[in-house]
Every structure is written in structure tokens, then in C-alpha cells.
Structure 1
Amino acid sequence: RTLAGQGHQVFVEVTPHPVLMGAMNDTLEEVALDSASMPAAVCGTLRRDDGGAQRLLTSLAEAFVSGVAVDWTSVLPSTDPVRLPTYAFQHERYWPRAAAPALGGDAVSLGLGAVGHPLLGAAVELAGGAGLVCTGRLSVRTHPWLADHVVGGAVLLPGTGFVEMVVRAGDQVGCGLLEELTLQAPLVLPADGSGVQVQVVLADVDEDGRRTVEVFSRPDAADAQQGWVQHASGVVAPAEGTAVAEEDFAVWPPRDATVVDVTGIYEAGAGASYGYGPAFQGLRAVWRRGEDLFAEVALPEDVAADAG
């Protein structure tokens, strides 16, 4: 009580194990209540079964956060202090504010439907029942993983990319089954990162509920005379009632299937001008049963974290 009355605020019990800290805390709390002063800090040094240097440093840190001036050079190298970041909510912005987007900068304000797909961004239903057009823009800058699909030295949209776009466009009109797709010309993506405009055109529904589909593209900088290049054509149909051979996946690997050796498949492909980068090296295992092929495919870890 006397020491606290003289203004001492920190009390350290130097013992192998704290014995007096409880009583000291009780006494100092009473003094603080009587004098309306701040409660003092009480620290120890060592503890029973915990009497090493680590415990002493921990106690020293407890005293430090209570306001005791500690000479850390005895235990830390004499280097420049670490500069901690400023408080998270006490910051100023120095970046210029982005201008408000111009009216019509999004699909809805342009009278289009938002598709929300990585390869297709908008869709418009043509008036008079003439069909549906889905549009998108592709480039190795906006879709960097496409740069991992190189054939003959050129970056090509893979065949599965056409399948994905056609199936997504078919979903827009309730035709989620791809019955037929013929690729007619490769879609080359410029290596400089410039974009390619893409259109997936669905015709009006026929009497069987099917629709023909075509895929076109042209460069961003194309003039009116260059026109569109057709890359694929096919047929989509309603997916209701489609039979799925679920028994093939009840047991894995599939029954009565023979393992296909895929060792060195990407090295062999490189020798045939197929330069598949990490994003396209996901084949893990293959089995064959008659005319059917079964495969395990997984994104490599170094690209999986960036996949949507």
C-alpha cells in the first residue's frame, strides 16, 4: 500500500513460482478504488516446472505490454526496429477515383441478358422468333489459361471451349443436350493479348424442339469488309429424358475396363506440335472398354487456386 501510494505502478515478484501475486493484486485493486487511480500491473518471473529462459522472456514481455521500459538489445540483435503498418482504419486514399461508368456500360442497360459465364457475357433473343445470339470476348490477357493451349505454335481455343459455349447457349433456351458439333476452322487467339469477339447463334426451334447452332468470331479491330469466320456448327436439343449410364460411375474404376498407359502423353504431344501448358496437363488416368473411354482429369495445384 505504501509503495502504491508513492506512485509505483509495476510490481514484479522475482521467485521460482508466484506466491504473492494474488495478494498483491487484491491489495492494489483496493488502493485503486480508494484513490480512483489506475490499477497497477503485477508480473512474475518464473513458474513451477517452467523455469527456463523462455518463461523469463515471456514474463518480461508481459511487463513490457504493461508499460515497463525493457532493454531488448540484451536478447535481440541490434538492427533497425521493424516498422509496423499504420492502423488499418486510419488511412488516406491517394488513388484517383474511377469515373462513374457511362450509361449503357453493362449488358442489361444495353438491352441484353447477362449470361454470367467465363466465355460468354451477354445474350439477346432476336425478335420475331428468329433465335438467340450469345456474345463474348476472348483473349490471353483476360483468359490467361488459354495461353497454355498451343498447337503448331499458335494459341487456339480448345475444342472443349466450343462445346462449353454451345452447351451454355443451349441452356439459355432449354436445350442443354448437345447432339452434334462439327468444328470447321480453328479459333486463333492473338499472342499480343488483343481480343476476339465471339458469337454463338442459335436458330429458332424446329418441330422436334431442336435448334441448329453456329459459332463465329472476328478480331476486335476487324473492319466491315473482313466479316465473321464460322468455326463450328451443330444441333442442340432439350435434355429431358436423356439416358445417363449411371452404372458406369457406381464403381470406379469402371467395371470390365482396361487401363490405358498415359505415361509421357504430354511429351509425345509436344513432339507433334501440341504445346500443352500447366492448365491443360490434367489427365491422371484413362480406361478403355470397347468404344468407351473413361478418364480422370484434375487441375494441377499451381493453377487450381486461380480457377473460378
Structure 2
Amino acid sequence: WLLSAKSEEALRDQARQLHAYTIGHPDVPAERIAASLAARARFDHRAVVDTTDRTTLLTNLTALADGTEAPGLTTGTVTPGRTAFLFTGQGSQRLGMGRELHEAHPVFAAAFDEVTELFDPLLDRPLRTVMWGQDADLLNRTQYTQPALFALQTALYRTLEHDGLTPHVLIGHSIGEIAAAHVAGVLSLPDAVALVAARGRLMQAARTDGTMIALQATEDEVLPLLTAGIDIAALNAPGSLVVSGDAAEAVALQERLGAEGRRTTRLTVSHAFHSAHMDGVLDDFRQAIDHLTYNPPKIPVISNVTGLPATGDELTTPAYWAEHIRRAVRFHPGIQHLETEGVTRYLELGPDATLTTLTQQTVRAGAVVTAALRKTSPEPLAFATAVARLHTGGHSPSAWRRGHTPAHPDGLPTYPFQRSHFWLAPQRSGTDVTAAGLTAADHALLGAAVTLADTDQLVLTGRISLRTHPWLADHTIAGTTL
């Protein structure tokens, strides 16, 4: 159920009215009410109630009316700006990723099956059995990790695209940029699969005597401390980066910064990615992808190499994708650029909220940052909540807009107007004779008493109105002549 209003008070009133209507009309299907609500005008204060259980529906409406939270209830206010899709990099993978959504969503299942079937001839075992098996070490091998992430991200994007939810701009993190390039039209699906399979296979074959360490530091602080054997591998968030390369030199840098009280973490990886340890596979990778067809992007893609929008010439050359393996992932500068370009909504496509956390550390408060899947939540619920979060933030799936207005159920509450009255009130004037300094009469209705100069007669003055004498509303004045 899609609810919206021009104020938070009106949104709560709408929830109360719909709650009462639902209880009073148990024969009206919830789906019919949902169709009617979807056809209404959409205002900036929004809520989505997503459930098939009537009891939960009523509970969520109550929570909305009370201003509290509930599972299946998403609220928000429209944020002007653009929308970016984020594609997660290696390290976010988990066993079983995509299986629940595959069972629940036919569009996702079809897209996922198409991608995995293209990978299977290029791998030594079916990709799905690796992703949904029990061997985490096997999934964590680069030759399988990268195809698995690409398959999941592509299927997520195609599902959103089917519902009419597309971004203004794309950004990935390492392997994620290849998924971004594919959905932007740079590579066809078969060519993208070939590139990812070659990338994963060759990066897996690179030397294994290196390490990667996450450090609490800025690029400017670390650059002077780098030695010949280590490189900056990723700029992830403000004051958060990763160095990669020879283990001894990387650990020495870790110990130096740790002694200063900086947070440091040695990553559990098999290779020193995005460092000189990748140099031995770059020529083979360029040759492996030289025959592929590249096209200019139809959706802007932020480059990991520069942190700026990639040009068509960059994305359409094998040399760029080889350099992409070797150079640092400039994710943080990329998010900074998106913010300067008016992006205010960010949706991460991947197994968890990895980039969501990094992005939240970079962007200003008020931005909508959410993830399509979360390892702590059932996949269908996480996916639906993410789409609802984008809708309440101002970017709605076109499939949620109806082509015609359905017949409204009888008595369905309309907009809960928050009425205010603005009658003009007469101004109090100083026309009573007391304003001239005359003696006030000690009387409830008389303003002053004036004795005429040439007689003993009196002139009595006063003013009577419900504004100045509200008690008159309950009294009657009879037979009085002034």
C-alpha cells in the first residue's frame, strides 16, 4: 500500500482512516485497496506498507499512525536529486547469496539462470553449486568469487529494470565496475561474462606472497610512507584506505600507524590485489579480452581508476580494464564526485550493505543510502524494503504507476485534509468615550457616564459584542433603551 501526504500529520491521519476502513470493510480485498492507492497523486511525505497478512497490515497502519516502526513499514520524505546504483566488490560474497530471491522472484531467477549458464562452460564446475554449496573457501577463491558477484549483481539490476527502476549514474568497486559497465551497455552479457571469467582466473593465478591491510589514514598521510613493495589499493571512505603488496613492508606500515593509535586490520585475502603483484598477469589479461566488443556507455559510469566519470574511450579499450586491475580503487573520490553532481539516493547491488556503510561515511546527512540485500535479513524482504526506501525518498519504480485509475472501493477514505481557518478578526478600536479620559461606569455593559453641563441628565455610553462580552452568549438582554 502506497500512502503519501503533504505533511506528516496528514500521513498519520490517512493511516488511521485506512485502518478504520479495513476493519469496517473486511470483504474488500487488500489488493483492490492497494491498486486504488497506487493511482493517487504522490506527495513528499510517503509510506509503504508491504505485507500480504491482514493482521500485520493493520499493525503497520497503527505503527504509521503512531509514528513508530514496524517490519514491512517504510517511511520517508522525498529528497530532490539523482539516483546512483552501487555494485559491490570482492570480499562481500557469502554462501547462499541470491538463493532466496531466486525462489521468490521469477524475473530474478530468469536473469540469474541466464548469467550462470554462460559462466559454466568457462569454469571447472557449475557456478551455482559453488554459490549455494557449503564450502566457503571455494567461493572465496577469486576465480569463483568474481563470477558469483557479477551474476548476483546483474540479476538484481535486471529485476529492478523490469519494474522500471533505473539509475541516473553507476559506480562499482573493483569487480563491481564490470557489472556497472555491462548494464550501461559497454559489454554484451556474453562478452562481460568472458571478461569476468578471464579476470578471475588470471588474478587467481597471480603470485600469492602478498597481503592487504586496511588502515585508518588519508591518502596524503600514507603516500609519503609507501615503499617500493606496497601500493594504495583502495580509497574507501574518509580516512579509510587499503594498502597492498609485499607482506613484510605492509606489516611494517601497519605497525607504524598502529603505534600512533590508528585502527588497522589485516584482510583475509589470498592475493595482493591492485598492487604490483598483479603485474605478471596484465599482458595475458589484455590478450584474453582483446577480441571483445566494447561500446560507449548509455548510462554514465564513475571510473575506479580516476574517481570521475569514465569516458567512452576509457571503457572501450582492453588497456583500461588491465589498468583497472593494477590501479587503486578510488571509490571514495567517486562518491564525493556523485554528491557534487546532485546524487542524493544510493542503492547498493550486492550480497550485503558493504558499500552502503562506506557511502554513509562520505555523503551528507539526509541522503538515502540503502542496500538491495542484507545478510541479516531474508532476501525478499530486504529487496522489497530497499525498493520502498527509494520510493519514499523520491525515486519510484514506473511499474508502481497505474496506466488508468481503477474503480475505488465504496467509502475508501480520500485525502485527510488538515483544515485551518483564517477568518479576519475585527480590530479593537478606541472609539469609546473612556478613550477621551471620561469616567468609566462601574457597570458590566456601560463604558462611561457623562453629566450634561446644563442639566442633571446623564449620557451613558458603551459597546456590546460577543468578542468583548463572551458571557452574553448565555444571556438575554430585554427592554433596555440606551
TM score, norm. by length of structure 2: 0.17
Give the number of the structure whose residues are more often helix, by fraction: 2
Comparing both chains, which one has the higher relative contact order based on Cα–Cα distances under 8 Å and sequence gaps of 6 or more?
A: 2
Q: TM-score scaled to structure 1, two decimals? A: 0.24
Greater strand fraction, Structure 1 or Structure 2: 1
